[in-house]
């Protein structure tokens, strides 16, 4: 169960669908470099529900075939430079969505249902560009009531970072329930953590409510400050200066390559 980051990355195969969390939920930035070094390409990324630095780096490294997302940005550090360039070049497939549609797709998978119905979306160019979504007439309504169906999203692997796991493979996710939703929907879930504790997280009623049981967790690896330069809730703040440094460097392909080959890809301890 407890393994190293490179061993996790080696399980990623070309063409896999990978679910990654929003920047404040617990991004396993520590896995980014091992994934790039491993080099499995043609990945279809699912951002839950938006993407940031990790998505931009994987796109910049040429590993990404398509991105399903509600947004990609570096937050306060501005637009995502490699993602935006790939959009201009037409070199990645885009599946623009809206946040609750991504949640709806994961929810359908969680329930073992083929789809979830959701409001909104009708009349948007998002819907117009999604040939995998459907509009039906609500069969329970007295008169016409169009509603959108979002098919279940079944990622091959969900990857995220959390504060702690226990020796039994349970992971504490606190109130970041989208991490559980990702894990329920995915065939495999890889989690990096700040630390591993001896006592079962399920032994305490207080901790158990925020715990993702080992049933849904395939692999765990320890990676201290593993969300850096993103922050981790309850643990450490986002390193905005580093995000800005990346944003500036990655404006060009050469700058991106130089940044990625630079010595500073790990946090100062």
Partner 1 sequence: MTAPVSAREILICSIAKLLDGSRHVAVGASSPIPAAGAMLLRALKDEMRAEKVRVSILGSVEHNFFTNGSAELFDCAGQGRIDAFFLGGGQIDGVGNINLVGVGDYPRSSVRWPGSFGSAYLYFVVPRVILFREEHTPRVFVDRVDFISAPGVSEPGVYRTGGPYALLTGKGLFSFDRTRPGFRLESVHPGHSLKEIKEATGFEFDHNDDLSITPTPDAATLKLLRGRVLDELHETYPDFAAQMRREISAGATSA
Residue numbers at the binding site for partner 1 (CB under 8 A): 22, 24-25, 48-50, 69-73, 75-76, 79-80, 83-84, 87-90, 94, 96-101, 103, 107, 118-127, 129, 143-147, 175-181, 233
Residue pair 180/216 in contact (Cβ under 8 Å)? The answer is: yes
Tokens 């279940």 belong to 152
Is 24 or 168 the residue whose CB approaches partner 1 more closely?
24
CA distances from 212 to 25, 47, 64, 171 (A): 14, 20, 28, 5
CB of 5 to partner 1, least distance (A): 25
Is 122 or 136 the residue whose CB approaches partner 1 more closely?
122
Residue 255 is given by DSSP the state H
Q: How far apart are CA 133 and CA 125, in angstroms?
A: 12
Is 112 or 123 the residue whose CB approaches partner 1 more closely?
123
Residue pair 141/172 in contact (Cβ under 8 Å)? The answer is: no
Is 70 or 192 the residue whose CB approaches partner 1 more closely?
70
Q: How far apart are CA 150 and CA 165, in angstroms?
A: 33
Q: How far apart are CA 252 and CA 258, in angstroms?
A: 10
What are the phi and psi torsion angles at 261 (to 5°)? -90, -5
CB of 55 to partner 1, least distance (A): 11
CB of 83 to partner 1, least distance (A): 8
Residue pair 104/150 in contact (Cβ under 8 Å)? The answer is: yes
Is 3 or 66 the residue whose CB approaches partner 1 more closely?
66
CB of 76 to partner 1, least distance (A): 7
CB of 2 to partner 1, least distance (A): 26
CB of 195 to partner 1, least distance (A): 21
Is 15 or 79 the residue whose CB approaches partner 1 more closely?
79
């Amino acid at each position: 169960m407890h393994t190293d980051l490179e061993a996790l990355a080696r399980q990623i195969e070309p063409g896999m669908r990978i679910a990654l969390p929003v920047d404040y939920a617990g991004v396993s930035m520590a896995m980014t470099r091992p994934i790039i070094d491993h080099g499995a390409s043609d990945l279809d990324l699912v951002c839950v529900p938006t993407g940031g630095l990790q998505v931009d780096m994987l796109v910049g490294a040429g590993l990404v075939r398509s991105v399903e997302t509600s947004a990609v940005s570096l937050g306060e550090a501005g637009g995502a430079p490699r993602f935006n360039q790939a959009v201009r070049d037409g070199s990645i497939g885009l599946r623009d969505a809206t946040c609750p549609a991504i949640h709806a797709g994961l929810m359908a998978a969680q329930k073992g249902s083929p789809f979830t119905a959701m409001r909104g979306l009708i009349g948007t160019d998002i819907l117009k560009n999604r040939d995998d979504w459907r509009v039906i007439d609500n069969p329970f309504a007295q008169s016409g009531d169009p509603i959108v169906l979002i098919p279940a999203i079944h990622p091959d692997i969900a990857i995220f970072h959390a504060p702690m796991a226990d020796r039994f493979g349970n992971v504490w996710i606190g109130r970041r329930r989208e991490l559980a939703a990702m894990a329920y929907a995915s065939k495999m879930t890889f989690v990096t953590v700040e630390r591993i504790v001896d006592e079962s997280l399920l032994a305490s009623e207080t901790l158990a409510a925020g715990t993702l049981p080992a049933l849904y967790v395939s692999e765990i690896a320890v990676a201290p400050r593993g969300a850096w330069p993103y922050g981790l809730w309850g643990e450490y703040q986002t390193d905005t200066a580093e995000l800005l440094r990346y944003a500036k460097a990655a404006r060009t392909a050469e700058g991106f390559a130089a940044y990625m080959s630079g010595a500073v890809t790990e946090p100062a301890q």
